[in-house]
Amino acid sequence: MAERPHIDKKSMKVLKFLYSTGECTLSELFKQFGIKGIQNTLPINNIIIYFIKSRYIGLVDSNNNLIHQFTFDSYFETCMSQGIALLSPKHILFLLPEGKFIVEESRRNFFVFLIPLAISILSALASIASIIISLLNNSPILVKLLE
């Protein structure tokens, strides 16, 4: 199995948002992340372009053309030559199977970490509780140890 790239928290939030909504426009995505003004869209646009090229998300442009990793380069060239915006607020984003897998794997990994941690914490609390109960009951073992 190919090694998966490391995805930062902000980028993962984009994937998780798309996972929860199924699809959304760029405008909805910008609104979700509080992005206002064209100058502030560059970081998230770079994330989107990376995800399109990595087969994590697909894009439907204003003409209802499906843009994915195989067609992105020609779409990019067409936009540049005709002076069309590469990404527009009305474009629709959706998760592809690879993107869904990344989100589901992230959730699985979280629970794989969380379950042993919860067991360890419960075990420590049980140990502390038993020590406190022993101290409060004037346990004969504790009395012998203190003598």
- At 139 the pLDDT is 55
In the chain (147 residues long), the average pLDDT of successive 10-residue segments reads 71 93 92 84 88 91 83 86 88 92 86 81 85 70 53
- At 141 the pLDDT is 58
pTM, to two decimals: 0.70
Q: Could you say which DSSP state residue 36 is in?
A: -
Q: Are 75 and 56 in contact (CB under 8 A)?
A: no
Q: Residue 98 corresponds to which tokens in the numbers above?
A: 């690879």
Torsional class of 15: left (φ above 0), alpha (ψ -120 to 50), beta (otherwise): alpha
Q: CA geometry: angle at 128 spanning 124 and 129, to 5°? A: 115
- At 1 the pLDDT is 43
- At 144 the pLDDT is 54
